[in-house]
Copies of this chain bind each other. A is one copy, B any other.
Amino acid sequence: MAKQNTVFKDAFNRCLKVLEQTASLPSEPELGATLSVSRTTVRAILTRLEEVGLLAWEKRRKIVLRKPVAADYFPTEETDSLSEIIERSFMRRILAGGAEPGMQINELELAREIGIGTTSVREFLIRFSRFGLIEKRPNSHWVLKGFTRDFALELTEVREMFELRSAAAFAHLPGEHPAWQELDAIEAVHHAILADIENRYLDFSELDERFHLLVHRASKNRFVVDFYDVIAIVFHYHYQWNKTNARERNARALEEHLAYISALRSRDPSRIEHACRQHLKSARETLLQSIN
């Protein structure tokens, strides 16, 4: 197979959600915009909806015939893009599995293990290399540098530089900048999670990323914002991997975030710096603890 039709399957599933709540579908371009796919894919979706008897489609008439049921959806395994599959597979290997620093990475072996072509693996490794966890020996193998203590220290050093600067820049955003509204929304979710911390503490990971990305964006610097990808991926898999004391850690981080948010809103540089440093310090400690 030359290309997986995951875009189609994923958009189809999302279209079913839309379909659950309306009696008819909008025009092809509009539906394309809603699902973020091209008209070609929209038409493929409409064709299939008709085939499985969900839709009566004739030109502009797109009438929903019945509510979709679970069996209409494509299984989730089939909707992940290849690069997501590779990333998960690879991260499991290097974080969970006993992967020693210095180990060689074999493209062919990885490809066979995941069951995909070598080109996709190569492209993944090239993209992944910017995270500083692997390194290429030209004309030869990749070397795993590993998720080591040094790695964590270097990562957090840059993170702290960037975030302190971004937080300071945040204070200078004009009052009508949408970031302030987003900050309000983020704060509200913090309170919601804290109110039901026992059940919802695992929601923190996603919220953490959303908050810090917002702060980094205030730098208006593409290198700072792009670097946040590195932090995000490390923390993302770190949270998945290390769940000891997750409840307490996350509760504490949530409180720190709230202090940080309130400092940002005060626009007082020294309060911001203090709250930011405080939080970054405990984030660093958490990360380091998980390594040893």
Instruction: Determine if A223 and B127 form an interchain contact, defined as CB atoms under 8 angstroms apart.
Output: no
Bound Cα distance from A220 to B151, whole angstroms: 11
Bound Cα distance from A28 to B230, whole angstroms: 42
Instruction: Determine if B119 and A154 form an interchain contact, defined as CB atoms under 8 angstroms apart.
Output: no
Looking at the assembled complex, report how far the CB atom of A2 sits from the nearest CB atom of chain B, in whole angstroms: 13
Residue A227 CB within 8 A of the other chain: yes
CB-contact partner of A126 in B123, B139, B154, under 8 A? B123
Instruction: Determine if A223 and B155 form an interchain contact, defined as CB atoms under 8 angstroms apart.
Output: yes
Instruction: Determine if B226 and A132 form an interchain contact, defined as CB atoms under 8 angstroms apart.
Output: yes
- Given A130-B130, A132-B226, A139-B7, verify A221-B157 contact (CB < 8 Å): yes
Complex: chain B residue closest to A122, CB-CB: B123
| Chain A residues close to B by CB (< 8 Å) | 7, 119, 122-123, 126-127, 130, 132, 139, 151, 154-155, 157-158, 161, 165, 220-224, 226-227, 230
Sample of 13 more A-B contacts, CB < 8 Å, known A123-B123, A151-B222, A158-B221: A119-B119, A122-B123, A123-B126, A130-B130, A132-B222, A154-B221, A154-B223, A154-B224, A155-B223, A158-B223, A158-B224, A161-B161, A223-B227
Complex: chain B residue closest to A119, CB-CB: B119
- In the complex, what residues of B have CB within 8 A of residue A7's CB? 139
Give the one of A123, A132, A158, A165 with max B CB within 10 A.
A158
Looking at the assembled complex, report how far the CB atom of A17 sits from the nearest CB atom of chain B, in whole angstroms: 21
- In the complex, what residues of B have CB within 8 A of residue A157's CB? 221
Listed A/B pairs (18) with beta-carbon separation below 8 Å: A7-B139, A119-B119, A122-B123, A126-B126, A126-B127, A130-B226, A132-B226, A151-B222, A154-B220, A154-B221, A154-B222, A154-B223, A154-B224, A157-B221, A158-B221, A158-B224, A161-B161, A223-B230
Bound Cα distance from A292 to B123, whole angstroms: 36
Bound Cα distance from A158 to B132, whole angstroms: 18
- In the complex, what residues of B have CB within 8 A of residue A119's CB? 119
- In the complex, what residues of B have CB within 8 A of residue A224's CB? 154, 158
